[in-house]
Amino acid sequence: MLKCDYLLMEDLVANGYKNVDRTVGLDQRQMEAVLKKMAQWHAASAVRVCQFGEYEDNDSDDHESDDSNDDNFKRCRDPFLDCLPVYNLDPQEEILIAGLEVEFGAKCYKLDIKEDHIVLEDLKAKGFRPTDRLAGLNKEHTLGVLKKLAQWHAASATRVAIKGPYPEHLNKGLFTEEGKALLKGLSEGAIKYILKSYETIEGHEVYYDAVKNMEEHIMKHIWQVGQVDPNEFNVLNHNDCWLSNIMFQYDDQNQLLDTYLVDYQLCKYGNVALDLLYFLVSSPRVEIKIKEFDYFIKFYHDQLIEHLQLLKYPKVLPTLVEIHTQLLKYGVWGFNVTLGVMAGANLEDAAGADFDNLLAETPEGEKFRTQLYAGKQYKEHVKIVLPWLLNRGALHCPNIDNVLQ
């Protein structure tokens, strides 16, 4: 059975369930109902053993003893095993935030088989759906995502404070020698294409030279963003939180009910700027992403503190100033987002787009990278975001060394 710090159970009282008077006991009808349920339970467990073998030793811990060398699989699996609701064919286990029901994404089913596997719940069956990528997220949806991120961050920070560090591959994420080529291609490799795009944007003179001067050393500073500073408030970042990796649930009147994150394979432990800049620079609508940025951070911080307290986080709570300090210190990550996922989120003609060409040194790759940064909608976001990044110091990489040291 998977071990976890917290257990989240459905609120049965809300569904009309109640206890009987202990001193009175059960009548015949109630006894028959209990025996029927017990028989169903016993039948299900007997069939489970026939199909999948004996139950595991409760003292064992598959997660810690797994000796698989498949890092890609482990990156997908471990966040589910450590932070997400996890289900066996046995009674369900979930995370509890002090009695508050919180689900971060699709349920993950763990089968009693030797083969590596990930079996996820079909969220469409529960009414979840993605939003329109080109439309971007309005304020309500943006706040829904920030609340979910705050809950996720609070749970992961508390988990580390109580249980100790995550496995090494979750500390590194993409910030490995293998991932460096991808990060370099998405940063240094994109500069010449975006500069060509910037030349057609009104007011580009303000930030053009600053971006041009970053070309040779931007990777050095992006790499620093991924290094974990133990003196900062750190969390397990989703690390790929943008509107195409988010699903929303609505009621019959199309009112937003809940928000789920999907695709956890890039999770990385580190500063909160990794998730906050990635999401807020890439996904909200152009008219609110900068105008409401400080409000969004204040809302996130309020939610973070609320859930850290609910979880009884044993360390000093991070202040709003500390969150903003991380966002300024690692501001270059926001610029990196404009080179990658912000461009993808605003790609207007995606029908013939092949993202396999993003890093390809081929005519097709050249064409795709040009197309990625040439769209009218992308340029509208650049026009708003780049001056903001410049004014926050995010485009002055040579000056960041003193901050990072």
Residues 6+ positions from 22 with CB-CB distance below 8 Å: none
Average model confidence (pLDDT) across the chain: 79
Strands 86-87 and 108-109: parallel
Amino acid, res. 266:
L
Residue 64: the pLDDT is: 46
Question: Does pLDDT of 266 surpass 60?
Answer: yes
Number of folded domains in the chain?
2
72 assigned to some structural domain? no
CATH number at residue 295: 3.90.1200
Residue 264: the pLDDT is: 77
Question: Does pLDDT of 4 surpass 50?
Answer: no
Distance CA 140, CA 127 (A): 18
285 plus 382 within the same structural domain = yes
Is residue 288 packed enough to be buried (19+ CB in 10 Å), middle (13-18) or exposed (0-12)? middle
Residue after which a domain boundary falls, among 52, 74, 93:
52
183 plus 290 within the same structural domain = yes
Question: Does pLDDT of 403 surpass 80?
Answer: no
Residue after which a domain boundary falls, among 52, 70, 99:
52
244 assigned to some structural domain? yes
CA distances from 330 to 96, 170, 227, 302 (A): 32, 19, 11, 21
Residue 186: the pLDDT is: 80
Residue 125: the pLDDT is: 62
61 assigned to some structural domain? no
Report the share of the chain in percent with pLDDT over 70. 71
The pLDDT tens digits for 43-67 are 555 644 554 456 455 444 444 444 4
27 assigned to some structural domain? yes
392 assigned to some structural domain? yes
Confidence category of residue 268, pLDDT binned at 50, 70, 90: very high
Question: Does pLDDT of 225 surpass 70?
Answer: yes
Question: Does pLDDT of 117 surpass 70?
Answer: no
Q: At which residue do the structure tokens 């990794």 appear?
A: 274
Residue 144: the pLDDT is: 94
Of the two residues 178 and 279, the one the predictor is more confident about is 279
Residue 5: the pLDDT is: 40
Question: Does pLDDT of 104 surpass 80?
Answer: no
Structural domain of 28: 20-52
33 plus 142 within the same structural domain = no
30 plus 147 within the same structural domain = no
Confidence category of residue 261, pLDDT binned at 50, 70, 90: confident
Residue 342: the pLDDT is: 95
140 plus 245 within the same structural domain = yes
158 plus 33 within the same structural domain = no
251 plus 397 within the same structural domain = yes
Mean pLDDT, rounded, for 312-341: 96
Residue 378: the pLDDT is: 95
Of the two residues 112 and 317, the one the predictor is more confident about is 317
Residue 127: the pLDDT is: 67
28 plus 136 within the same structural domain = no
35 plus 172 within the same structural domain = no
344 assigned to some structural domain? yes
135 plus 40 within the same structural domain = no
240 plus 387 within the same structural domain = yes
Please name every residue paired with 258 in a beta bridge, in sequence order, or none if there are none: 249
36 plus 145 within the same structural domain = no
286 assigned to some structural domain? yes
357 assigned to some structural domain? yes
DSSP letter string, 15-53:
GT--PPPTTT---HHHHHHHHHHHHHHHHHHHHHHHHH-
